[in-house]
Amino acid sequence: MDTLLNIIVNPVKAFNQLKTEEKFPVTALIILLTLALIHLILMTPASAKLSEILLSGMSMPEKQKDMAIEMTYKLRYLSMIGGFIMYAITLFLQALVLFVIALIFKAQLGYMKALRLMIYCFIVLVIGDLVNMALIYFKGIDTIENMYSLMLTGANLLTSVEKAGVALYVFLSYINPFQLWFVVLLIIGVKIFTDSSWGKSFAICIIFWLIVTLFPVISTWLSQAAMAQKGLM
């Protein structure tokens, strides 16, 4: 628990402690996944509202539309469980991406160290998700108009989807205090774990961040383009 607190208040001390540890951070992982689960539970009403809006816009008979909305509502908790599993998988996959990038840069960062680093750094991202969720509830679930209404902590708030376009708008949503905090922690962690220079650590982490950020951005753009082509938007 002390290490988790130090990640927030004194990351250099925390990462120096973690550098020599061989034990898997089970407690930190449990806390991380618990916070992620809380976020997913809180997200369920917003996701249901979003699904209802999406289905309502589809060109299909009203009876089928109502059945689809009802089915989506019934499966909301199953979707939440799926989201939780995907969150855990993402954690392990992103650790693998970090490990591979470090390997390319010839930085001595084993996969387990990359995973340990990712578990602790992900804490700030979950905090960011919870803050974003709190803002959604503050505005009101009924104010949700589309998926972009759920992005409330990033630079995307300075523009609109119409002005920036889908891809840029989603990318801007990732430029927020919590993502920046995450990158800074990652740079410090890689520097300490690998004894690399600040320049190399910065390059590794920026490339990593761009890869894991651009993937959902491109995926969102492709899905929105496909839906628009089918007349679902």
pLDDT per residue over 108-136, tens digit each?
A: 999 999 999 999 999 999 999 999 999 99
Confidence of residue 233 (pLDDT cuts 50, 70, 90): low
Burial of 161 (0-12, 13-18, 19+ CB in 10 A): middle
Return the DSSP state at 13. H
Give the residue with greater pLDDT, 230 vs 120: 120
Mean pLDDT, the chain, whole residue set: 89
Total tally of structural domains belonging to the chain? 1
Q: What is the pLDDT of residue 56?
A: 74
Confidence of residue 230 (pLDDT cuts 50, 70, 90): low
Q: What is the pLDDT of residue 64?
A: 72
Q: What is the pLDDT of residue 4?
A: 84
How far is residue 131's CA from residue 111's CA, in Å, rounded to a whole number? 30
Q: Per-residue pLDDT averaged across 193-207, rounded?
A: 97
Q: Is 70 exceeded by the pLDDT of residue 69?
A: no
Domain range for 41 is 2-229
Q: What is the pLDDT of residue 67?
A: 73
Rounded to two decimals, what is the model's pTM?
Answer: 0.89
Region of 140 (left: φ > 0; alpha: ψ -120 to 50; beta: rest) is left
Q: Per-residue pLDDT averaged across 66-80, rounded?
A: 74
Taken in order 81, 155, 171, 95, is the CA torsion positive or negative? negative
Residues 6+ apart with CB under 8 A from 13: 6
